[in-house]
């Protein structure tokens, strides 16, 4: 039985949508407990799956396995007629790369297309964390609470950021075109990101937007700015109901 971590909204509120979270290298579903609770508090149904196993020798099979797991995960997340829409996939690190490759590959993907994607900490082709656990934590996050979560979880694989994301998957993510709405999230202090490539991706995909989080590291969903990042994700989810138009326009007087 595949393990999921589920987060439910406040009792009595109508579910506003379904969010499936795909972790990255070395992470577990527990890594995203705080993020899941935040979105659930806004009445979204959140399910966190296990991080995908990515085979550099057979990337197509890796993506097919991921598609099957996502299809299984979305079942029974809501009432008998299926998951409450919109259904949004959130990927972090290698999970983000795998989702981008899956939804961008030619032909119909082997998973029902979601209504939108959130790709957080999409890795580039830079080197890994290269060092002791404290060094890996420094690459991941400056948030003391999240550093504690990672350190105290016995299922977190230390040194995982030293494992390269398969080049074939990164190439598929770069070369494909994702047509559903996409929110790209990156920290400007993320040493594993290719910031120029992210700008190119955001401008080449037809319905993508790039949000840069000032001071955030690689684990952009779980860094010091996690409250603002969760709010940015919820804002994106809410725009899906309004043809991607922001529901609030901010106009400031000159300082």
Whether residue 151 contacts residue 137, with contact meaning beta carbons closer than 8 Å, is answered with: yes
Among 96, 76, 247, CA closest to 172: 96
Distance in angstroms between the alpha carbons of the first and the last residue of the chain = 57
The pTM score is 0.93
Compute the distance between CA of residue 175 and CA of residue 132 in angstroms, rounded to an integer. 34
- Closest by Cα among 54, 71, 51 to 3: 51
- Coarse DSSP helix, strand, coil percentages of the chain, rounded to the nearest 5 percent: 40, 15, 45
pLDDT tens per residue across span 65-96: 999 999 989 886 655 556 899 999 999 999 99
Phi-psi region of 232 (alpha: psi -120 to 50; beta: other; left: phi over 0): alpha
Coil, helix or strand at residue 77: coil
Measured CA to CA, the distance from residue 183 to residue 179 in angstroms comes to 12
Q: What is the CA radius of gyration of the chain?
A: 17
- Tens of each residue's pLDDT in the chain, 255 residues: 457 899 999 999 999 999 999 999 999 999 999 999 999 999 999 999 999 999 888 988 999 999 999 998 988 665 555 689 999 999 999 999 999 999 988 654 556 789 999 999 999 987 666 679 999 999 999 999 999 999 999 999 999 999 999 998 898 888 888 999 999 999 999 999 999 999 999 999 999 999 999 999 999 999 999 999 999 999 999 999 877 777 787 777 665
Six token digits for residue 245: 């138009």
């Amino acid at each position: 039985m595949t393990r999921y971590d589920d987060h439910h909204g406040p009792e009595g509120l109508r579910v506003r949508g379904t969010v499936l979270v795909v972790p990255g290298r070395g992470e577990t579903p527990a890594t995203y407990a705080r993020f899941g609770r935040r979105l659930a508090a806004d009445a979204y149904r959140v399910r966190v799956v296990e991080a995908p196993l990515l085979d550099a020798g057979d990337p197509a099979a890796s993506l097919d396995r991921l598609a099957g797991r996502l299809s299984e995960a979305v079942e029974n997340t809501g009432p008998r007629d299926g998951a409450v829409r919109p259904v949004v996939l959130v990927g972090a690190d290698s999970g983000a790369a795998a989702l981008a490759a899956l939804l961008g590959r030619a032909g119909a993907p082997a998973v029902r297309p979601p209504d939108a994607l959130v790709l957080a900490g999409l890795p580039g082709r830079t080197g890994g964390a290269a060092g002791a656990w404290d060094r890996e934590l420094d690459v991941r996050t400056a948030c003391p609470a999240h550093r504690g979560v990672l350190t105290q979880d016995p299922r977190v694989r230390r040194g995982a950021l030293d494992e390269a994301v398969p080049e074939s998957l990164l190439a598929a993510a770069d070369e494909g075109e994702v047509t559903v709405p996409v929110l790209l999230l990156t920290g400007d202090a993320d040493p594993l990101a290719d910031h120029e490539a992210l700008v190119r991706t955001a401008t080449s995909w037809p319905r993508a937007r790039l949000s840069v989080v000032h001071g955030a590291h690689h684990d952009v969903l779980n860094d010091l700015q996690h409250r603002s990042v969760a709010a940015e994700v919820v804002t994106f989810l809410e725009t899906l109901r309004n043809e991607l138009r922001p529901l609030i326009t901010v106009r400031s007087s000159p300082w």
